[in-house]
């Protein structure tokens, strides 16, 4: 590391430790030269670096001052890590539980697999088995099977978006796409914007890649708070922003067009890359499919990540990123970590997409999910105490449930799991304390006596917690 970088790091560390606080005047260049014994060139280079990072600001005639930071700032290595250990443990329990058919999987992130066209997918697998090149690696190396990338590009085109197959990289589900995208545009220690609450995978990725989180509050109806976002961008050197714009996980909202455009304009102004997690978008409702933010970008500012796992087949583990200018870097990172996704899976999807009507399946899927959600909401109203708030949106298959603020949804989750019911408590989705009283409910299941009883049981458990608290 160069001397000026060491000095810059040293000063930044002092600021983080509170040695210098927002608004404080830093030692002048000459004073710093005297302290550090470093040359004037080195010291001024260090100050310029900190200034370019937005850590300090120069004021004519008066010197260098520490920039102010937003309230929401958190050091993830503390805030996130403490949470993440629990999150991993909990994800483990939920996933292990989800293997057990005896557990009612209200905590699952995947829709009822019985809603997927299993027979058609199996026939595609069978056909691929007759294809001589099915097991060959080379034709499916990153960026991935060409026909599959073309099929995905055509689906973008049908939405009026111009995405070239050449910028699409096939990945092991959207999760690998999101992780590679984040890695492609950040270095350890960089600042990244996430939502509060957000998909726990984002928090895990930040911790894994040693990034610093700025959690911006999101509203159950309006989504991310653009004022808080701009304040964060003004005061911190943010590299990337990871969020969901359609059927957000866990809350379920979809940003309106105007807000999506405002979000993009804001991020472009601060030269921040948006990593757009759009895995539930095909579960939209209303007149037409909502556009992702990527629709207004030329590929320089937005990396659009999605998959087939939530709407067609989870077991294939096939997702993608429309990576724009970062497509090459994504491929390099994939070659280093998993090399590529499996050839037969890519080819089976090509077969399905070219011989079946994916859109007809999606129409049936959306209709069925809407009906099931309605049944679930009615059951919740029958069995949940009046103090519980039930938030629902037209798209997707999640309900966001708020208990009275003094109740802990994690405790409810433990009690429910003991009764053979899984839920996804708010703690999984936040680095703050703001959502510990909430939980996410997957309502994609065919409504039977089993689901009815499970909801009744949850209602009883909540009622018991309410009494205990009184």
Q: Which residues from 114-173 bind a second copy, rule CB under 8 A?
A: 116, 118, 121-132, 134-141, 172-173
Tell me which residue of 143, 241, 243 sits closest to 199, measured CA to CA: 243
Residue 197, φ and ψ in degrees, nearest 5: -85, 160
The answer to whether residue 10 forms part of the interface with a second copy (CB under 8 A) is yes
Q: What are phi and psi of 426, to 5 degrees?
A: -55, -30
Paired residues of 352 in beta bridges: none
Q: Within a 10 A sphere around the Cβ of 96, how many other Cβ atoms? A: 11
Three-state DSSP class for 229?
A: helix
Whether the Cβ atoms of residue 240 and residue 273 lie closer than 8 Å to each other: yes
Residues between 427 and 456 with contacts to a second copy, criterion CB under 8 A: none
Under the binding rule (CB under 8 A), the answer on residue 45 touching a second copy is no
Q: Is 23 one of the binding residues for a second copy (CB under 8 A)?
A: no
Smallest distance from a second copy to CB 35, Å: 7
Contact between 41 and a second copy (CB under 8 A)?
A: no
By CB under 8 A, tell whether 336 contacts a second copy.
yes
Contact between 185 and a second copy (CB under 8 A)?
Answer: no
- Under rule CB under 8 A, which residues in 191-220 are in contact with a second copy? 201, 204-205, 208, 210
Residue 188 sits in the site that holds a second copy (CB under 8 A): yes
* Nearer of residues 140 and 254 to a second copy, judged by Cβ: 140
DSSP string, 76-87: HHHHHHHHHHHH
CB atoms < 10 A from the CB of 336, how many? Answer: 10
Interaction pattern, residues 277-316, with a second copy; x per rule: CB under 8 A: --------------------------------x---xxxx
Name which of 110 and 447 has its Cβ closer to a second copy.
Answer: 110
Stretch that binds a second copy, among 156-164, 251-259, 343-351, 444-452 (CB under 8 A): 343-351
Give the 3-state secondary structure of 173-221: HHHHHHHHHHHHHCCCCCEEEEEECCCHHHHHHHHHCCCEEEEEEEECC
Q: How far is the CB of 95 from a second copy (least distance, A)?
A: 6
CB of 190 vs a second copy, minimal distance in Å: 13
- Piece in contact with a second copy (CB under 8 A), picked from 151-159, 344-352, 379-387, 397-405: 344-352
Q: Which of 42, 49, 72, 179 is the binder for a second copy (CB under 8 A)?
A: 179
**By CB under 8 A, is residue 6 in contact with a second copy?**
yes
Q: Of the candidates 24, 86, 219, 332, which one interacts with a second copy according to CB under 8 A? A: 332
Longest dimension (CA), the chain: 78
Q: Is 175 in the site for a second copy (CB under 8 A)?
A: yes
Span interacting with a second copy, options 22-30, 86-94, 147-155, 272-280, rule CB under 8 A: 86-94
- CA angle 353/355/359 to nearest 5° reads 50
**Beta-carbon contacts of residue 302 (< 8 Å; ≥ 6 apart):** 264, 273, 274, 276, 292, 293, 294, 324
């Amino acid at each position: 590391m160069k001397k000026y970088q060491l000095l810059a790091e040293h000063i930044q560390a002092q600021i983080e430790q509170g040695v210098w606080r927002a608004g404080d005047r830093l030692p002048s260049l000459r004073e710093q030269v005297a302290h550090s014994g470093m040359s004037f060139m080195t010291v001024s280079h260090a100050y310029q670096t900190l200034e370019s990072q937005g850590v300090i600001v120069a004021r004519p005639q008066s010197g260098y001052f520490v920039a102010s930071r937003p309230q929401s700032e958190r050091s993830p290595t503390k805030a996130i890590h403490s949470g993440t250990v629990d999150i991993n443990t909990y994800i483990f329990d939920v996933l292990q539980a989800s293997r057990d058919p005896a557990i009612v999987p209200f905590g699952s992130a995947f829709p009822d697999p019985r809603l997927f066209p299993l027979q058609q997918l199996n026939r595609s697998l069978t056909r691929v088995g007759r294809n001589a090149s099915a097991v060959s690696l080379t034709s499916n190396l990153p960026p991935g099977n060409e026909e599959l990338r073309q099929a995905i590009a055509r689906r973008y085109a049908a939405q009026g978006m111009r995405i070239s197959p050449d910028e699409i990289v096939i990945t092991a589900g959207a999760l690998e796409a999101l992780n590679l995208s984040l890695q492609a545009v950040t270095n350890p220690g960089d600042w990244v914007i996430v939502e509060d609450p957000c998909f726990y995978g984002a928090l895990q990725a930040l911790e894994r890649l040693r990034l610093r989180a700025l959690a911006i509050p999101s509203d159950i109806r309006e989504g991310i708070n653009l004022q808080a976002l701009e304040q964060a961008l003004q005061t911190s050197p943010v590299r990337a922003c990871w969020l969901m714009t359609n059927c957000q996980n866990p809350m379920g909202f979809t940003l309106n067009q105007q807000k999506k455009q405002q979000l993009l304009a804001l991020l472009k102004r601060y030269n921040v890359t948006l990593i757009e997690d759009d895995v539930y978008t095909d579960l939209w409702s209303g007149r037409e499919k909502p556009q992702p933010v990527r629709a207004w970008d030329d590929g320089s500012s937005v990396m659009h990540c999605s998959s087939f796992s939530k709407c067609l087949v989870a077991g294939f583990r096939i997702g993608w990123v429309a990576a724009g200018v970062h497509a090459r870097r994504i491929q390099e990172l994939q070659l280093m970590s998993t090399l590529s996704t499996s050839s037969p899976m890519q080819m089976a999807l090509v077969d399905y997409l070219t011989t079946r009507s994916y859109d007809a399946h999606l129409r049936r899927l959306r209709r069925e999910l809407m009906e099931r959600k309605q049944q679930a909401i009615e059951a919740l109203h029958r069995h949940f105490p009046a103090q519980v708030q039930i938030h629902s949106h037209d798209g997707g298959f999640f309900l966001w449930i708020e208990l009275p603020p003094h109740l802990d949804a994690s405790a409810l989750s433990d009690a429910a799991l003991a009764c053979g019911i899984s839920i996804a408590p708010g703690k999984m989705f936040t680095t703050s304390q703001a959502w510990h009283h909430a939980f996410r409910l997957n309502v994609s299941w065919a409504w039977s006596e089993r689901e009815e009883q499970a909801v009744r049981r949850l209602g009883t458990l909540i009622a018991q917690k309410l009494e205990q608290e009184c």
